[in-house]
Amino acid sequence: MADKTVLIVYAHQSPKSFNCAVKDAAVKTLTDQGYKVLVSDLYAMKFRAAATADDVKGKLKNPQHFLYNEEAGLAWKEGRLSDDIKEEQRKVQQADLIIFQFPLYWFSVPAIMKGWIDRVMTQGFAYTLQNLYDNGLFKNKKAMLSFTTGGMESMYLPDGLNGDINVALWPLQNGVLRFCGFQVLAPQIFWSPAHTPDDAREALLEAWKTRLQGLQDEKPLSFAPTELFELNFQAGFRLRADVKEEFASKPYGLTTAHHLGKPLPPNNQTKAE
């Protein structure tokens, strides 16, 4: 794997954390396999989370009505983004696989990691209006979430207190990663390590190392192909009528979010088919 590069975008404040142990295990296991491993340790870098006009060098197109998406996209095109964003974009360009390592905060990523997404994945660099989902700019790259939870696994089942984890994962895995074209690998979820005995935590790390050894050959998660939709404004970018008719007699919906009034397909965001 000498020609393969992995970027780990890591967000935890403590080097004593289980997240840090998971990150370190990934670095060693992947390096031992011959991968080039890059790490963006966001807290150590003091990475700025807020997407503001400070991200743009030079004059703004419209300083009276600042629109971050538009200004950042133009700045990317003209090479005027701030140096920290440029550096992270260079890492993304090199990466064949990106692993996001974090503790689940409020059913999402920590603010500093959300800031990385907001600031690094700029229009033009990560997506265009013509290059989304199946046709995304990163369709030849893979990405995955690896995270810890505070609650135990049963709390994230469809009948659990926190609700179906598949629902919580959809915005990150479809709305961010697949939106930009990534092939999304099944998430690595470490359920409630803070309330797990030491020997069980060690077993979790060993299982993670084993998975990493075969990660490159894993099938990605299943998402609805864009060809199933009417891709024009007149039709509202909705599922084709024949697709709806086909799924009318099936027991489950198409995906976690395209459920079509049916039960959600089990494990749609947690296991590859």
Please report, as a single letter, which amino acid is at residue 11: A
List the structure tokens of 143.
Answer: 């990405």
List the structure tokens of 261.
Answer: 């009034």
pLDDT > 90? residue 239? yes
Question: Domains of the chain (ranges plus CATH)?
Answer: 5-221 (3.40.50.360), 225-272 (no CATH)
The three-point CA angle 141-142-143 to 5° equals: 130
pLDDT of residue 129: 87
Q: What is the arithmetic mean of pLDDT over 63-85?
A: 96
What Cα–Cα distance (Å) separates residue 184 from each residue in 85, 100, 143, 153? 23, 12, 5, 21
Confidence of residue 216 (pLDDT cuts 50, 70, 90): confident
For 140-167, the pLDDT digits (tens) are: 999 999 999 999 999 999 999 999 999 9
The three-class DSSP label of residue 149 is coil
DSSP secondary structure code for residue 173 in this structure: I
Crossing angle of the two packed helices 83-94 and 111-120, in degrees rounded to 10: 80
Percent share of the chain, pLDDT over 90: 95
The pLDDT mean for the chain works out to: 95
List the structure tokens of 111.
Answer: 């603010």
- Per the listing, tokens 């419209």 go with 62
pLDDT > 90? residue 273? no
Q: What is the arithmetic mean of pLDDT over 239-260?
A: 93
pLDDT of residue 2: 63
Please report, as a single letter, which amino acid is at residue 60: L
User: According to DSSP H, which parts of the chain are helical?
Assistant: 18-32, 42-45, 68-78, 83-94, 111-120, 165-172, 198-213, 241-247
For 8-54, the pLDDT digits (tens) are: 999 999 999 999 999 999 999 999 999 999 999 999 999 999 999 99
List the structure tokens of 110.
Answer: 């920590």
For 107-146, the pLDDT digits (tens) are: 999 999 999 999 999 999 999 988 999 999 999 999 999 9
Provide the whole-model pTM: 0.95
C-alpha span between 201 and 2 (Å, rounded): 30
pLDDT of residue 97: 97
pLDDT of residue 1: 59
pLDDT > 80? residue 98? yes
